[in-house]
Homo-oligomer: A and B are copies of this chain.
Amino acid sequence: MILKPIGIIHSPFKEKKDSPHQGRYGVETSEIEVFEEYSEALDGIDRYNHLIILYWLDKAERNLLKVIPVGKSKKRGVFSTRAPSRPNPIAFSLVDLLEVNENKLTVKGLEALDSSFLVDIKPYWKDIDSIE
């Protein structure tokens, strides 16, 4: 199962220490640049205010099965945490779409490090993607 980089994320977070613990709480905006060869796949994206972004955590440790979650003292399995360290380091982020300019999307709520590779963009549908 091989993923293709379909774009790159330009963000104000150059290092892990700069990025918010969870992007949803941040006010900074990031720019998602979709590579030209995939820009046609953005058609219709402007009808959504919220998007699901999948991106690659290239600095993650893939062989850790347990980690100590932020703010905790005891190790836990990585599937019960949102730690970047996991066998397949794909991050999931729900973002606000602020602007679309050709193949560039300005978004808020992303905590991706600068230059992270984009994996997928999906529209957020409240009725299937949230639970009260």
Contact assessment for A88 and B123 in the assembled complex, using a CB-CB cutoff below 8 Å: no
Given known pairs A6-B88, A24-B127, the reply for A42 and B120 (CB within 8 Å) is: no
Chain A contact residues, CB within 8 Å of chain B: 1-6, 22-25, 34, 38, 40-45, 47-48, 50, 52, 54, 56, 62, 65-66, 75-82, 86-88, 90, 92, 94, 96, 117, 119-131
A65 → B minimal CB distance (Å):
4
Q: How far is the CA of A117 from the CA of B87 in the complex (A)?
A: 13
Chain A interface SS verdict (over half): mixed
Given known pairs A40-B77, A47-B80, the reply for A24 and B65 (CB within 8 Å) is: no
Q: How far is the CA of A24 from the CA of B132 in the complex (A)?
A: 13
